[in-house]
Amino acid sequence: MLTFGRACLLLALGLVVFGIAASVYGARRERAEWAAAGRRSVYALFGVLTVAVVIVELAFARSDFSFRLVASHSSTTTPLFYKLTAMWSSQEGSLLLWVWLLSGWSSLAMLVAGRRARALAPWAGAVLLTFAGFFLVLVNFLAHPLQLLEPAAVEGNGLQPLLRHPAMVIHPPMLYSGYTLAAIPFAFAIAALLTRRVDAAWIRQTRRFLLGSWLALTFGILLGARWSWSELGWGGYWAWDPVENAALLPWLTGTAALHSLMVQEKRGTLKTWNVSLALITGILAILGTFLVRSGLLESIHAFGASTLGLPFLAFVVLLIGGSLTLVLWRRDALRSPARLDSMLSRETIFVFNNVVLVGLALVILWGTFFPLISEALAGERASVGPPWFSRFTVPLAIALVLLSGIGPLLPWRRARPGSLWRLFAIPVGAAAAATAAGLLVDPVAGSPRALALFAVATFVIAAVGQEYWRGGRARRASTGRAWPIALGGLVARNRRRYGGYAVHVGIAVMLVGVAASSSFQQVRDVRMKPGDRATVGAYEIRYERPTADVQREKLSLGAILDVRRDGRHVATLRPSRGYYPVADARTVGTLGRWFEGESTSEVGLRAGIRRDVWTVVEPDLQPFRRMIDGIDRRFPLADAQMEPLFLQALAERYTLQPPPAAFRMIVAPLVIWVWIGGLVALVGALVAIWPARRRRRAGGRAAVPRARPATVIERV
Amino acid sequence: MAIELLAFLVLVTAVAWWVVAPLRGRPASEGSADLAALEADWEARIAAVRDAESDLQTGKVAPADHQALDPELRGAAFAALRALERARARDDPQRRCEP
């Protein structure tokens, strides 16, 4: 199987070479049969890579430790669910996942656009195959996922403990889907520049893929944040970690592109800006992968220094240089004929929104790469922390949320100044009411940034609510249907618009959660013995008793905490620390090996609509050191029967003579609204991306109505 | 090992046969017109008509302003649809190659 898989990866590289040649030849000579062969190479690439992925997955499922990848990232005790997802916990496996996803999305793009955009598709196919080629070179020659381990290991190292979380199963494929989907607008933008067809055709072919990229990145980022909050044990969901930022960068420029592409579609303007945004988003997606995979910047996602830094850097430089050259080369074709009619128009707000989004991306890019910049300039690595990011990003985020409320209220082309009061009265009134209410609440009044965010978020929710209400009312008047049906019809008739509005509400709600939880959270670090109490905010937390649990692959030492508010029981929390053993007991001892490996925090969390109570525990193992060392000395190589007995003895002693333990306790308001807002945004994006119901002709081409044109226009 | 080699040879043959299939037939053309630009134009024009109507219904533009703008938008949509229909009429579906 291993040899067959290796051969498949070489065949994939061969397909890439043939596909690029066939596509370019077909495009240059206008030979449809060559272009079709190029397209088939993309489909075949997906098929062949699927075979390779299945081989790797089967090896994980069967715990075949003759595969080096399986031996180093799985074990017989790893649950099947995690075995099947262990592939992307490794450098090699995640590169294979990347190129497999890319080939899948590229196949879909070729299937959708292959014959409709005949001039663009072959060039776009060649670009996508070049992306795939780069990753296949890495996979085949620098980080091969199908390496033989001889002799095969008896037992594997197991999956990294931190990754044993349901969110981590979906988080990497989601982010990689976001990155790989962003390659499709990039490829079509390159094709548009090469063919000088910079009209709206390339946008039409790639709009859904860009939205798909946004959707996947949003979901991936949210899952990562959720994992951080409920698993990492540091007490937050966003740390401005380089790898987190790497996903946020294409998300920001992709969001900008989704808005500005609409301006080009409707007004024929912003061509240079749009093509540049698509290119930048694609490049940032590669840069994101580069940051995760190169080990260039220190991160909680550290995969260590690797040999991939230089090839990635060369590829990113090639992409930037090539894109810049193409844009400059085609600057005449990119000149836009139309201008914006008025400052009071939706398209003008989109331009402002783009400026803010790109500003945010630049700030985050600078902060992320500051360690490298400082090292290059001053010879010393210095990094910027969350306060630096907050100083710049919070004002920009407030401006962005405000614009996301103003945009839906303004019409395309121009609004009459006289109509502004009618359009803005309710949202402005709601924002003013929220501000007044905030000023009456003690901690909010003292935080101008949080107050401003609450006000603008209320403005957005009221503005979008007004849009739904007015649209629904008009629909109801024209159809005579009941409110829910009228609203449903309104959304179904214009999914992009109303799905997009829901996204605005989701982001506004999310930022309310972020503002409240980051501004008003209360943190307490305490050391307690059973029976001790600590107060955090309005809560009293009592350390009831210790817990210990011995499992095949981990030892958990924890605590049971009783949480009370105003004397009433609110929750019972069970934070714990999981200790995973290292494989080799010879150097660290039978019992010592359980404390020399990795350890993770299991968070004790009580999530609520108004606030989360979050706790972690760090048991003090010092009092057990003598017992551990004594057993290690007397039984240096205990067998499989003895070891659980020693562990059980340790666990019993921990529960009978518990030492003091260190606790971190956090009461954070409105955290759940971060997840609720994210879900609303995801649902909105799904509505927007969902294909409109339309008549289809045989052969799958989008149907332009066959009635007389004049009749069709009248029907609209 | 031998089975793996045989399986791989079968796979390579099948993939190569399928990928180069379009090259085995007579040289094909996919038609004279590239419809993507025209379809994109038509979609954008018709969306502009709908958006203007939606802006009217939600009170963003006055009826007088909409009445002034609507004929222009519908005219552009009409022209885009006519151009697309003409291009499609020129396009010969028999000459397309698969897939």
User: How large is the ipTM?
Assistant: 0.82
Closest residue, chain B, to A700 (C-alpha): B99
Residue A151 preceded by cis peptide, ω within 30: yes
Contacts of B19 in chain A (CB under 8 A): 15, 18, 37, 40-41, 44
CB contact under 8 Å between B36 and A117, yes or no, is yes
pLDDT tens-digit readout, A507-565: 999 999 999 999 899 999 999 999 999 999 999 999 999 999 998 888 999 999 999 99
Query: Given the DSSP bridges, would you call strands A661-669 and A539-550 parallel, antiparallel or unpaired?
Result: unpaired
Which pLDDT score, from 0 to 100, does residue B27 have? Answer: 60
Could you report the per-residue pLDDT of A673-699, keeping only the tens digit for each? 999 999 999 999 999 999 876 544 444
Residue A557's pLDDT is: 93
CB A145 within 8 A of CB A95: yes
Structural domain spans, chain A: 1-161, 165-364, 530-659
Nearest CA in chain A to B49: A716
**Cβ pair A249, A367 in contact under 8 A:** no
Handedness of CA A618, A623, A627, A633 (dihedral sign): positive
B36/A195 Cα distance (integer angstroms): 13
- How many CB atoms neighbour CB B3 within 10 A? 8
A268-277 pLDDT, tens digit each: 888 999 999 9
Residue A709 has pLDDT above 90, yes or no: no
Nearest neighbour of A44 by CB, restricted to B18, B42, B58: B18
Are B57 and A471 in contact (CB < 8 Å)?
A: yes
In whole angstroms, what separates CA A651 from the centre of its chain?
Answer: 39
**Nearest C-alpha in A relative to B23:** A33
User: What's the predicted TM-score (pTM) here?
Assistant: 0.91
User: Sorting pLDDT into bands at 50, 70 and 90, what band is A701?
Assistant: very low
In chain B, residues 79-98 whose CB comes closer than 8 Å to chain A: 81-82, 84-85, 88, 93, 96-98
Say how many CB pairs under 8 Å bridge A and B: 171
Over range A621-635, report the average pLDDT. 82
Cα A26 to Cα A112, A559, A652, B21, B29, distances in angstroms: 18, 67, 73, 14, 11
pLDDT band at A715 (very low <50, low <70, confident <90, very high): low
Distances from the Cα of A560 to the Cα of A528, A545, A549, angstroms: 12, 5, 13
* H-helix or E-strand spanning residue B28: none
Lowest mean pLDDT segment, chosen from A151-155, A188-192, B46-50, B94-98: B94-98
Distances (CA, A) of A186 to A127, A377, B79: 9, 32, 31
pLDDT of residue A621 exceeding 90, the answer is no
Mutating which of B34, B66, B91, B96 best tests the A interface, going by the most A Cβ atoms within 10 A?
Answer: B34
Residue of A nearest to B27 (CA): A33
Find the CB nearest A33 among B23, B31, B39.
B23
Min Cα–Cα distance to chain A from B93, Å: 10
Residue A20 has pLDDT above 90, yes or no: yes
Do the beta carbons of residue A144 and residue A7 sit within 8 Å?
no
Whether residue B23 lies within 8 A of chain A, CB to CB, comes out as: yes
With an 8 Å Cβ cutoff, are B29 and A32 in contact?
A: yes
A58: exposed, middle or buried (Cβ count in 10 Å: 0-12, 13-18, 19+): middle
> What is the distance in angstroms between the Cα of A5 and the nearest Cα belonging to chain B?
9
CB within 8 Å of chain A, chain B residues 63-82: 65, 69, 74, 77-78, 81-82
Kindly report, residue by residue over A31-82, the tens digit of the pLDDT. 989 999 999 999 999 999 999 999 999 999 999 999 999 999 898 888 888 9
Above 60 in pLDDT, residue B92? no
- Return the pLDDT at B2: 82
Mean pLDDT taken over chain A: 89
Mean pLDDT to the nearest integer, A594-623: 91
Ramachandran area for residue A239 (φ above 0: left; ψ -120 to 50: alpha; else beta): alpha
User: Model confidence over A226-283: pLDDT tens digits?
Assistant: 989 988 778 889 989 888 899 999 999 999 999 999 998 888 888 999 999 999 999 9
Out of B5, B15, B60, the one facing A44 most closely (by C-beta) is B15
Residue A173 CA to residue A219 CA, distance in Å, equals 10
Lowest mean pLDDT among A523-532, A539-548, B31-40, B59-68: B31-40
Over residues A208-220, mean pLDDT = 96
A113-144 pLDDT, tens per residue?
877 788 899 999 999 999 999 999 999 999 89
| Angstrom distance (rounded) from CA B38 to CA A200 | 9
**Is the separation of the CB atoms in A513 and A680 below 8 Å?**
no
More confident of the two residues B84 and A547: A547
Q: What is the pLDDT of residue B98?
A: 42
Which of A635 and B24 is assigned the larger pLDDT? B24
pLDDT, residue A605, reads 95
Q: How far is B47 from chain A (nearest CA, A)?
A: 8
Please answer yes or no on whether B30 and A35 come within 8 Å at the CB atom.
Answer: yes
Of A8, A11, A37, the CB nearest to B23: A37
- The predicted structure's pLDDT at residue A348: 94
Mean pLDDT of B18-22: 94
Is the per-residue pLDDT at A374 higher than 60?
Answer: yes
